[in-house]
Structure 1
Amino acid sequence: MSTGPTVIRPSTEADIGTITAIYAYHVQHGTGTFETEAPAEAEMARRRTDVTGKGLPWLVAEEGGRVVGYAYANHFRPRPAYRFCVEDSIYIHHEAAGRGLGRLLLAELLAHCEAAGARQMIAVIGDAENMGSIGLHQALGFEPAGILRSAGWKHGRWLDVPMMQRALGTGDETDPD
């Protein structure tokens, strides 16, 4: 996989095919998502439109003109009281893992969410053994917020789900409205 300068930018419709392929690999081979069937491009496009339609970011990492990862934030839950709390999702092409792309994407995602008025970001990590994701979130200021024991069954085993949290902006120190 080619390297070169990494550009973090907003995703476009043209990125959906690559985003879908990256995610499909993680659905089929990983435990970072609890989906067991990879969604089609139309579904991934619908999800992207839903996120960006709320004024929230869906970013890609690009190297040499090729998308090698993506990240987005969506509302943690749909109820109005959660409107200042977002949940992040980050997926890196398996051949580009371990090169710091997740850190670049998450740092930019944090900045975009803070600019959009979010006050808290939640990381729901799909496997307690995913030390890469846990370490990435810790490095960018997330703290443990709890663990859901045996919350998922995938690839023939029970998976614990660590949750982490980070304040954005002034967090809960001031009224948001």
Structure 2
Amino acid sequence: MTAAPTDLPGLDIRPATAADVPGIAAIYAHHVLNGFGTFEEIPPSSDEMLGRLTTLQDGGYPWLVAAAGGAVAGYAYAGPYHRRSAYRFTVEDSIYVHPDMAGRGIGRVLLSRLVADAEARGFRQMVAVIGDSGNAGSIGLHAALGFERTGMVCAVGFKRGRWLDVVYMQRPLGAGDSAPPAGRG
């Protein structure tokens, strides 16, 4: 899988650091307050976002940022799909792009790299849990990168006066389920 180019020369995709957290928190706050892709309704503080970043990275999960001109243009991470041990080879992805940078290929580059990083860490399945069945951008992005729609649960979230569905999409990583997993305990 190759990442599509963006129209942002010099876009830097790299692991997130504590210095990126204010930018990450600002992007997420916008999506919490203005979108339906996340079911959070109150934006977490920068301290909370730093805790989330640290917890995932310390647990061996990838968290990436796309930096353009020294600013965070978007971020993506993979975290546990569920906490029970049998799920340890499956991750759930999250991707958020700065609203001024939407539609420029940043999400595609981030998700492509996230898939590769998760594969390199021994994960075998990636699941997208997409808030709002009308979220054509996220659904289309995931489909373009090999995710298949595996289901939908209807009206399970209520945010800003709307009932919201959740769309599930999934793609294998590496050998997927064609061979027993190695590593990760």
Q: Structure 1: which 5+ runs fail to align?
A: none
Q: How many residues align?
A: 176
- Is residue 2:140 matched to residue 1:135? yes
- What is the aligned counterpart of 1:18 among 14, 23, 27? 23
Residues 121-169 of structure 1: per-residue CA shift (max 9 Å, x gap):
0000011000000000000000011001001001211011100000000
Residues 91-145 of structure 1: per-residue CA shift (max 9 Å, x gap):
0000100101000000000000000000000000011000000000000000011
- What is the aligned counterpart of 1:68 among 53, 73, 76? 73
- What is the aligned counterpart of 2:40 among 18, 30, 35? 35
CA distance in 2, matches of 1:58, 1:176: 22
Percent of residue pairs bearing the same amino acid type? 57
Deviation at 1:64, TM superposition (A): 1.3
Q: Which amino acid aligns with 1:44?
A: M
CA distance in 2, matches of 1:22, 1:63: 14
Q: Please list every run of at least 4 consecutive aligned residues from structure 1 whose deviation after the TM superposition is greater than 4 angstroms.
A: none
CA distance in 1, matches of 2:72, 2:29: 15
Pairwise CA RMSD of aligned residues? 1.1
Give the TM-score normalised by structure 1.
0.97
Q: Structure 2: which 5+ runs fail to align?
A: 1-7
Secondary structure of 1:125's partner? strand
CA distance in 1, matches of 2:86, 2:73: 35
CA distance in 1, matches of 2:63, 2:170: 19
Q: Which amino acid aligns with 1:155?
A: R
Q: Is the 8 A contact 1:4 1:64 kept in 2?
A: no
Secondary structure of 1:170's partner? coil
- What is the aligned counterpart of 2:179 among 159, 174, 177? 174
Secondary structure of 1:33's partner? coil
CA distance in 1, matches of 2:101, 2:133: 22
